[in-house]
Structure 1
Amino acid sequence: MGTMTATTTTADAEAPEAPHLAARRRELAEFVRSRRERLTPEAVGLPPGRRRRTPGLRREEVAQLASVGVSWYTWLEQARDITVSPQVLDAIARALRLDSSERFHLFGLAGAVDPVPREAHADVSPSMRALIKQVEPFPASIQNCRYDLLHYNRTFSRLFTDLDALPPSDRNCMWLAFMDPDWGRSLVERREVLEQMVANFRNLGTGHFEEPQWRALVDRLLAASPEFGEIWARRDVADKVKPIKMFRNRDVGIVRLHADRMWLQPNGGMRMTVYSPADDETAEKLERLYRLAV
């Protein structure tokens, strides 16, 4: 791997800078320095060498491990205004032995997209499983930012289609809305709902478009659904939920529901959605649906 370098230009040096960018650069410099100082030469496979006046690794040792220029790495720790590419950040993260949380913090401070992003933790805790069971007969589910259904209660399993009869790879709300006939029929305002879902989906994907899992889902939908392709091509973005949603359930008929979303992880990780009845008639229908799902 050749040595990577970065340069600054005269125009860049003379251009005025927003205060928040300088603050983020200082925080990035302090964070990288702190991670360097906690490492020992032995921990990264280097000989201990002569007595050290400062804790941890030397700057030139980190530069060597990351295959970046020593001057460039020094500028990074000095909070200089330099270009930091995702590839160089990846090399530094590996050299400093950053864990997934530290790596996420590093790329966030640099305002860069991680080329090897961490997957949002997909394990639903026993306490969250108990919670969505406890809210029955209200339908509830836990999804990630790609709309994969990670867990759901019995009422939700019968609200749109028979989820338990589907392969796990198809238990994705975006896929089902376009490709599952029962799910599609359950959407009373189908076209409006699909357009809103795609706009929300694109908005959630802002920091994820380069992730293989995200790209694979988009490619799968584009290949399978011309309608998705047509809506996707508009590049609309949104972050909203209608106050009342109407669904047509095959067992109990029309239900009118409030949808409340609660984020369980930061930065577009897992979220829980609970549907509560918007009227007494819907409340009675959810009770019937729950009994059918037992």
Structure 2
Amino acid sequence: MEASHQRKAIGEFLRRRRTSLSPKQLGLPEGYTRRRTPGLRREEVAQLADVSLTWYTWLEQGRDVAASPEVLDRLAAALHLTPAEREYLYALAGRYASLGRDLSAYQLSPAFVQLVNNTPYPFFVIGPENRLIAWNAVASELLTDFSELPPENMQMLWLAFLQPEFRTKIVNWEQSTKVALSFYRKLYDRSADQPWYTKLIGELKERSKEFAEWWPLHEVADKNGLQVEIEHTSMGRLAFEIITFTQINDLENLMCCIYMPLPDTQTAEKLAAWHQANRTKTRI
């Protein structure tokens, strides 16, 4: 979407949301004069969001004005936006919304869980703040038992650099992790002003010499096409291409990663034999 169209969409969205609210809903006085238009006045929204009337008017008019995450948060609160509406506003403004919700309560639909469970190859679902929120049993089998990890270590970038089993089981760890880091940077750098991002990057710089060396290079890349080789104790060498796609729901864009076996490597056959001997379960 072009910038001018985005600005117009922001203005139309804010105007629609403003006119759908009544002063009574927000505890504001109705006033003595009859309102010529339904909903809140611009000056009331500006007051509630602690912004100037001129700035807010320009925003509704689609003018080229910048809105910081803090201002967007105040506008979202003033207009009583739902989580989906709030994230839509952030997307139009070219920002990532700070979540402000308990990630432990994040739930996938039963059908989505079944999809993860029934996929015969390693399947990861990455949610808000780069956190791993779902995986299947074969993913745990090949890399690490994710259910045993503490919640604070469930960010995929943290796992890639600081989880020992990732480094030992992925044969081409250095090459694949450099590409994964470049993809991460492309996807998440818009969150650089958020506390979770600052904390994660700071810890990785301090604890991983590879991260400290690669991060300043500021490389960005796509992840599709990335191939990884995994050494398993009983199945031997396995070769995959990581297929990445997004699943959009009402709360967040979920990033899904499937490790697809490479042809002519016997990887698919080895996994089929493993499934015959093990009952797979999705762990969330």
Please say whether Structure 1 and Structure 2 have the same fold, judged by a TM-score greater than 0.5: yes
Q: Which residue identity does 1:22 align to in structure 2?
A: S
| Residues 48, 275 of structure 1: alpha-carbon distance in 2 compared, 3 angstrom cutoff | same
The structural deviation recorded for 1:158 is 0.8
Find out whether 1:213 has 2:196 as its counterpart.
yes
Aligned residues: 274
Residues in 2 aligned to 1:118 and 1:272: alpha-carbon distance in whole angstroms: 23
Name 2:270's counterpart in structure 1: 285
Q: 1:110-121 to 2 correspondence within 5 Å?
A: 110-112=93-95, 114=97, 116-117=98-99
Equivalent of 2:106 in 114, 122, 136: 122
Name 1:92's counterpart in structure 2: 75
The structural deviation recorded for 1:208 is 1.8
The structural deviation recorded for 1:124 is 2.2
| Residues 110, 142 of structure 1: alpha-carbon distance in 2 compared, 3 angstrom cutoff | closer
Find out whether 1:47 has 2:25 as its counterpart.
no
Q: TM-score scaled by structure 1?
A: 0.81
The structural deviation recorded for 1:56 is 0.9
Residues in 1 aligned to 2:276 and 2:187: alpha-carbon distance in whole angstroms: 35
Name 1:254's counterpart in structure 2: 237
Identity across the alignment (%): 35
Name 2:183's counterpart in structure 1: 200
Equivalent of 1:67 in 47, 50, 57: 50
Q: TM-score scaled by structure 2?
A: 0.83
Equivalent of 1:265 in 238, 244, 248: 248
- Runs of 5+ unmatched residues, structure 1: 1-18
Q: Deviations over 1:77-108 (max 9, x none)?
A: 33344444444333332222222222222233
The structural deviation recorded for 1:118 is 5.7
SS state of the match for residue 220, structure 2?
A: coil
Name 1:154's counterpart in structure 2: 137
Residues in 1 aligned to 2:200 and 2:142: alpha-carbon distance in whole angstroms: 23
The structural deviation recorded for 1:236 is 0.9
Name 2:116's counterpart in structure 1: 132
Q: Which residue identity does 2:56 align to in structure 1?
A: Y
Find out whether 1:25 has 2:10 as its counterpart.
no
Residues in 2 aligned to 1:26 and 1:180: alpha-carbon distance in whole angstroms: 46
Q: Is the 8 A contact 2:162 2:208 kept in 1?
A: yes
| Residues 283, 79 of structure 1: alpha-carbon distance in 2 compared, 3 angstrom cutoff | closer
The structural deviation recorded for 1:48 is 1.3
Residues in 2 aligned to 1:166 and 1:292: alpha-carbon distance in whole angstroms: 25
| Residues 52, 211 of structure 1: alpha-carbon distance in 2 compared, 3 angstrom cutoff | same
| Residues 157, 167 of structure 1: alpha-carbon distance in 2 compared, 3 angstrom cutoff | same
Q: Which residue identity does 1:263 align to in structure 2?
A: T
SS state of the match for residue 233, structure 1?
A: helix
Residues in 1 aligned to 2:56 and 2:218: alpha-carbon distance in whole angstroms: 38
Residues in 1 aligned to 2:64 and 2:227: alpha-carbon distance in whole angstroms: 49
